[in-house]
């Protein structure tokens, strides 16, 4: 059997919507899993709405997501001759005809047809005399497809056999009065030229497919299979495109989201591995993807899940790569210079390792200023909860023990703290929480002992002493 040929065919008329990205991604997963070729075809026949900027955005988004194509992109506008030839052929074989209704007449005919509950009947068989008269009048001349009787049937690998009663479809224009082809015609000719065997696209195209299948049949060309993915819905149950907030790949990219996470997330919007796995690398998705796993039930775009997946993918990253990302943010924030970072590289790597389980987006690296600067404020809630009347005297004792440590390592710090809490007959938490507050100004974060090891003895002691001053010693703490 010959290899599958697929295409992703965006129109460069706006931002790169996540729904389009998902279509690209399913096409990509298909050819990577089953073999075959995936072409990028730019549907730029709408001259008024197509822009270079939109094309650039789409290509950057595709690159960023890691969706690659076979060969160079194809531009629909460059295939105008073939479009025109196909129209001629349909005219010659009687599958299409010239129509001379003016836009006003068309509107009136549509209104009447609607009132009578039938499709519009255009004048299919003009006598040569009427045609000549219309031409002489200078009326606009379009070409319409003569929709045949019967029904149009196609195989949808996701939705099963689809049947469309042709009565539902009126004779549609294939060539506008200005001589430009409409989308259905161009898409069919271009798909035939590429030898496309399978079209994977969004459910919003379902009503276009019968028209395109009819055109393929009238032209005597092999009809590809058409697979329509689910609609992408917002959590409010409305179509995602109508939603406020981020809906383009560029926006997610600018938010600092990982491309792997968006890729993973979009793959799960309309496909399921059949078990409860959710975190996949690109290669794992290629491996696990099957057409049978594609769903026809609407998918709900849940941003919390996207954020969670982003965290999971951050955890799969090598620490050295994360350090590069974090450093850009930290340098921008003015917490460290590139030279200082170079000198402190090994301790920064350890710091990143501590942060890695606690971040959901790369921007969360900005939650850890206390790895660089002494805290300026202590969170009120944390202070209420953990700074007790006995905290100052206990911390003073702990400072003595920590100052005496010849080796300020996680193990030694932990040992000293636990020994002290044992001697005082209190739980270790009674030392850990106030110490953390003094060190970081907050009550959440990595394990205290590893964190202290990374911060170093001098910094820890200094901050504990400052904490005593500012959080209050025994006499100033309310009971
Ligand atoms: N250019 C069309 C779009 O962006 C897609 C055409 C198709 O996939 O057949 O919606």
- From the list 318, 379, 319, the residue with the least C-alpha distance to 351 is 319
- From the list 192, 202, 209, the residue with the least C-alpha distance to 39 is 192
C-alpha angle 9-10-16 in degrees, rounded to nearest 5: 145
Ligand 1 geometric centre to CA of 9 (Å):
5
Q: Would you say 394 and 429 are in contact if contact means Cβ atoms under 8 Å apart?
A: no
Ligand 1 geometric centre to CA of 279 (Å):
29
| Tokens 């209104």 found at | 111
SS3 169: coil
Query: Which residue out of 3, 85, 242, 474 is catalytically annotated?
Result: 242
Tokens linked to 413: 């710090």
Nearest-angstrom CA–CA distance, 30 and 4? 9
Exposed, middle or buried, 430 (CB in 10 Å: 0-12/13-18/19+)? middle
Nearest-angstrom CA–CA distance, 293 and 50? 35
Atom of ligand 1 nearest to the CA of 208: 9
Atom of ligand 1 nearest to the CA of 8: 8
| pLDDT tens per residue across all 479 residues of the chain | 689 999 999 999 989 999 999 999 999 999 999 999 999 999 998 888 999 999 999 999 999 999 999 999 999 999 999 999 999 999 999 999 999 999 999 999 999 999 998 889 899 999 999 999 999 999 999 999 999 999 999 989 999 999 999 998 999 999 999 999 999 999 999 999 999 999 999 999 999 999 999 999 999 999 999 999 998 888 888 777 656 666 899 999 988 899 999 999 999 999 999 999 999 999 999 999 999 999 988 888 999 999 999 999 999 999 999 999 999 999 999 999 999 999 999 999 999 999 999 999 888 999 999 999 999 999 999 999 999 999 999 999 999 999 999 999 999 999 999 999 999 999 999 999 999 999 999 999 999 999 999 999 999 999 999 999 999 864 444 44
User: CB neighbours (10 Å) of residue 37?
Assistant: 17
Q: At what angle do helices 259-267 and 52-65 cross, to 10 degrees?
A: 90
Measured in residues, the chain has a length of 479
Identify which of 21, 43, 189 to mutate to test ligand 1's pocket (most ligand atoms within 8 A of the CB).
43
Whose C-alpha lies nearest to ligand 1, atom 7? 9
C-alpha angle 116-120-121 in degrees, rounded to nearest 5: 110
Ligand 1 geometric centre to CA of 97 (Å):
26
Identify which of 22, 182, 205 to mutate to test ligand 1's pocket (most ligand atoms within 8 A of the CB).
205
| Ligand 1 pocket, residues with Cβ under 6 angstroms | 9-11, 43, 187, 199, 201, 205
Contacts 24+ apart (CB under 8 A), 74-77: 74/39, 74/40, 74/41, 74/42, 74/190, 74/194, 75/41, 75/42, 75/44, 76/9, 76/41, 76/42, 76/43, 76/44, 76/45, 76/186, 76/190, 77/44, 77/45, 77/47
Residue 479 is predicted with a pLDDT of 41
Atom of ligand 1 nearest to the CA of 191: 9
Whose C-alpha lies nearest to ligand 1, atom 4? 10
Identify which of 26, 45, 76, 201 to mutate to test ligand 1's pocket (most ligand atoms within 8 A of the CB).
201
Ligand 1 geometric centre to CA of 360 (Å):
34
| Tokens 């500012």 found at | 470
SS3 308: helix
Ligand 1 geometric centre to CA of 232 (Å):
16
Residue 478 is predicted with a pLDDT of 43
Atom of ligand 1 nearest to the CA of 23: 8
- From the list 453, 439, 362, the residue with the least C-alpha distance to 411 is 453
- From the list 53, 476, 28, the residue with the least C-alpha distance to 263 is 28
Identify which of 11, 207, 224 to mutate to test ligand 1's pocket (most ligand atoms within 8 A of the CB).
11
User: CB neighbours (10 Å) of residue 470?
Assistant: 12
Atom of ligand 1 nearest to the CA of 43: 1
Catalytic residue flag (residue 242): yes
Ligand 1 geometric centre to CA of 204 (Å):
10
Residue 26 is predicted with a pLDDT of 98
- Phi, psi dihedral angles at 445 (to 5 degrees): 145, -175
| Tokens 């974090």 found at | 326
Exposed, middle or buried, 152 (CB in 10 Å: 0-12/13-18/19+)? buried
- From the list 8, 22, 58, the residue with the least C-alpha distance to 241 is 22
Lateral strand order in the sheet of 173-175:
96-99, 142-145, 173-175
Nearest-angstrom CA–CA distance, 37 and 69? 8
C-alpha angle 369-372-373 in degrees, rounded to nearest 5: 80
Whose C-alpha lies nearest to ligand 1, atom 6? 9
Ligand 1 geometric centre to CA of 8 (Å):
8
Whose C-alpha lies nearest to ligand 1, atom 5? 9
């Amino acid at each position: 059997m010959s290899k599958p040929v697929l295409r992703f065919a965006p129109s460069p008329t706006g931002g790169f919507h996540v729904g389009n990205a998902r279509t690209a991604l399913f096409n990509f997963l298909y050819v990577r899993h089953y073999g075959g070729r995936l072409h990028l075809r730019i549907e730029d026949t709408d001259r008024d709405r197509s822009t270079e900027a939109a094309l650039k955005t789409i290509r950057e988004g595709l690159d960023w997501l890691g969706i690659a194509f076979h060969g160079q992109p194809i531009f629909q506008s460059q295939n105008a001759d073939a479009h025109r030839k196909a129209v001629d052929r349909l005219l010659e074989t009687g599958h299409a005809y010239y129509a001379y209704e003016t836009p006003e007449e068309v509107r009136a005919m549509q209104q009447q047809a609607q009132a009578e509950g039938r499709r519009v009947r255009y004048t299919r068989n003009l006598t040569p005399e009427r045609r000549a008269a219309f031409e002489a009048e200078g009326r606009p001349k379009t070409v319409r497809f003569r929709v045949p009787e019967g029904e149009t049937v196609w195989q949808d690998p996701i939705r099963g056999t689809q049947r469309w009663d042709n009565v539902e479809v009126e004779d549609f224009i294939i060539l506008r009065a200005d001589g430009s082809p409409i989308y259905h015609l161009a898409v069919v000719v271009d798909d035939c030229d590429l030898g496309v065997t399978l079209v994977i696209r969004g459910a919003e195209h379902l009503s276009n497919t019968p028209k395109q299948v009819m055109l393929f049949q009238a032209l005597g060309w092999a009809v590809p299979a058409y697979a329509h993915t689910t609609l992408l819905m917002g959590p409010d149950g409305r179509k995602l495109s109508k939603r406020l907030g981020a809906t383009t790949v560029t926006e997610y990219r600018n938010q600092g989201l990982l491309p792997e996470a968006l890729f993973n997330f979009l793959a799960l919007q309309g496909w399921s591995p059949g078990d409860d796995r959710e975190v996949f690398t690109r290669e794992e998705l290629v491996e696990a993807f099957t057409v049978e796993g594609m769903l026809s039930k609407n998918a709900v775009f849940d941003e919390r899940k996207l954020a969670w997946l982003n965290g999971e993918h951050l955890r799969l990253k090598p620490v050295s790569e994360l350090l590069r990302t974090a450093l850009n943010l930290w340098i921008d924030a003015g917490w460290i210079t590139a030279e200082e970072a170079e000198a402190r590289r090994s301790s920064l790597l350890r710091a990143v390792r501590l942060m890695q389980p606690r971040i959901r987006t790369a921007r969360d690296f900005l939650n850890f200023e206390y790895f660089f600067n002494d805290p300026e404020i202590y969170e009120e809630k944390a202070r209420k909860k953990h700074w007790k009347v006995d905290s100052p005297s206990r911390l003073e004792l702990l400072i003595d023990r920590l100052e005496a440590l010849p080796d300020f390592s996680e193990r030694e710090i932990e040992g000293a703290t636990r020994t002290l809490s044992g001697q005082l007959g209190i739980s270790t938490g009674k030392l850990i929480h106030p110490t953390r507050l003094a060190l970081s100004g907050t009550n959440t974060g990595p394990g205290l002992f590893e964190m202290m090891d990374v911060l170093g003895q001098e910094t820890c002691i200094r901050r504990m002493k400052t904490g005593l001053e500012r959080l209050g010693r025994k006499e100033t703490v309310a009971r």
